[in-house]
Amino acid sequence: MDVVVVGSLNMDLVVRTARHPLAGETLPGSRLDFFHGGKGANQAVGAVRLGARVAMIGAVGTDSFGQALGSALAAEGIDTAGLRRVDQTGTGTAMITVSDAGENTIVVVPGANLRCDVAWVRQNQALIASAKVLMLQLEVPMAANLEAARVARAQGCQVIFDPAPAPAGPLPPELAALVDHIVPNEREAQALTGIAVDTEAGAREAGGALLAQGYRRAIIKLGGRGALLAGPEGLHLVPGFPVTPVDTTAAGDAFGAGLAVSLVQGYQPLEAVRRANGVGALAVTRNGAQASMPRVEELEQFLSLGGEPR
pLDDT in tens, 149-171: 999 999 999 999 999 988 888 89
Q: Any idea where the domains of the chain sit in the sequence?
A: 3-17+31-304
User: Is residue 253 among the annotated active site residues?
Assistant: yes
Q: What does the alpha-carbon distance between residue 181 and residue 176 come to, in Å, rounded to a whole number?
A: 9
Name the pTM for this structure.
0.91
**pLDDT at residue 52 above 70?**
yes
Structure confidence by residue, pLDDT tens digits, 185-233: 999 999 999 999 999 999 999 999 999 999 999 999 999 899 999 999 9
Q: What does the alpha-carbon distance between residue 299 and residue 254 come to, in Å, rounded to a whole number?
A: 11
Q: What does the alpha-carbon distance between residue 54 and residue 71 come to, in Å, rounded to a whole number?
A: 15
Q: Which of 12, 79, 180, 253 is catalytic?
A: 253
Q: Phi and psi (nearest 5°) for 95?
A: -100, 115
Grouping H, G, I as helix, E, B as strand and the rest as coil, residue 133 is: strand
Contacts of residue 25, defined as CB under 8 A and 6 or more positions apart, other chains included, come to none
Of 289 and 217, which is predicted with more confidence? 217
Give the CATH number of domain 3-17+31-304. Answer: 3.40.1190.20
